Structure 1
Amino acid sequence: MTSFVKKYRWSISFWVVQLMSWGGLVFIAYAFTPDMDGYKSSKVFSYGLVSTFLIGIVSTSLLRSYLKGIVNFEAFEKKQIVKILLGVACASLLYFALSYGFGYCVGKYSEEDVKVPEMYKNFGIGLMIVNSFITIFGWTIFYLSVKVAAKLNANRVERAELNATLRQAQLNTLKGQINPHFMFNSLNNIRGLMLEDVEKSRDMLTKLSEMLRYSLTKNNVNAINLEEELDMVDNYIALSKIQFEERLEFVKHIDKTTLDIKIPPMIIQLLVENAAKHGIANLKSGGIIKLTTEKSSDNLIIKVINTGKLMIVKGSTQLGLKNIRQRLRLLYGSNASFTINEIDGEVVATIKIPLS
Structure 2
Amino acid sequence: MGLKNNHSEIIFWLLQLIGWSMINAMIFIIPELSNQYKVYSFITATFGSIIVTSFFRLFLKNKIDFNNFRASSIYEILTSLVFCAGIYYGLFILLENIYELFWKRTPEEILWLLDNYSHLSTLLSAFFTILVWAVIYILVKFVLTTNKNRLENLELNATLREAQLNTLKGQVNPHFMFNSLNNIRGLMLEDVSKSREMITKLSEMLQYALSKNTVDAIALSEEVDMVDNYVALAKIQMEDRLHYEKEIDAESLEVMIPPMIIQLLVENAAKHGIANLKNGGKILLQTIVTATELQIVVKNTGKLSISENSTKLGLKNIRQRLRLLYGPKGQFTLEEIENEVVATIKIPTT
For Structure 1 versus Structure 2, the TM-score category normalised by the shorter chain is: 0.5 to 0.7
1:300 aligns with 2:332: no
Give SS of 1:312's match. Answer: coil
- The change in CA–CA distance for 1:192 and 1:296 in structure 2 (over 3 A counts) is closer
1:215 corresponds in structure 2 to 209
Residue type at the aligned position of 2:239: E
Q: Please say if residues 335 and 343 of structure 2, whose CA atoms lie closer than 8 Å, have aligned partners that are also in contact.
A: yes
Report the CA distance shift for 1:341/1:142 in structure 2 as closer, same or farther (over 3 A): closer
Question: Which residue does the alignment assign to 1:163?
Answer: 152
Matched length? 253
> Are positions 1:152 and 2:91 aligned together?
no
Q: Is 1:246 equivalent to 2:185 in the alignment?
A: no
Aligned to 1:177: 166
Q: Is the 8 A contact 2:242 2:281 kept in 1?
A: yes
Aligned partners of 2:265 and 2:343 also within 8 Å: yes
- 1:240-285 deviation digits (Å, cap 9, x = unpaired): 2233233222111112121111222211111101101110111122
Aligned mates of 2:248, 2:14 — CA distance in 1:
58
Partner of 1:279: 273
* Contact kept in structure 2, 1:301 and 1:352, CA below 8 Å: yes
Residue aligned with 2:146, SS = helix
Structure 1 residue 188 displacement after superposition: 4.3
The reply to whether residue 290 of structure 1 matches residue 229 of structure 2 is no
Segment drifting more, 272-281 vs 293-302? 293-302
1:265-320 deviation line (CA, Å, top 9, x unaligned):
21111110110111011112222111111223433222111111111323434332
Residues in 2 aligned to 1:142 and 1:73: alpha-carbon distance in whole angstroms: 18
**Cα distance in structure 1, aligned partners of 2:128 and 2:28:** 12
For 1:274, give the aligned amino acid. Answer: N
Letter in 1 for 2:227: V
SS at match of 1:350: strand
**How far is 1:321 from its partner?**
2.1
C-alpha distance in 2 between matches for 1:265 and 1:87? 65
What is the match of residue 262 of structure 2? 268
The letter of the residue matching 1:343 is I
Q: Does 1:316 align with 2:288?
A: no
Deviation per residue, 1:60-84 (Å, 9 max, x gap):
xxxxxxxxxxxx7695262443234
CA distance in 2, matches of 1:286, 1:193: 21
TM-score normalised by the chain length of structure 2: 0.61
Give the secondary-structure state (helix, strand or coil) at the position aligned to 1:353.
strand
Scaled by the length of structure 1, what TM-score is found? 0.60
Cα distance between partner residues in 2 of 1:89 and 1:137: 19
Contact 1:186–1:240, Cα closer than 8 Å, also in 2: no
| Matching residue within 166, 172, 180 for 1:189 | 180
Aligned partners of 2:203 and 2:334: how far apart in 1? 31
Change in Cα spacing, 1:336 to 1:185, as seen in structure 2 (3 Å) is closer
Q: Distance in 1 between matches of 2:27 and 2:316?
A: 58
Q: What is the rounded CA distance, in whole Å, between the counterparts of 2:26 and 2:126 in structure 1? A: 10
Please give the root-mean-square deviation of Cα atoms over the aligned residues, in Å. 3.4
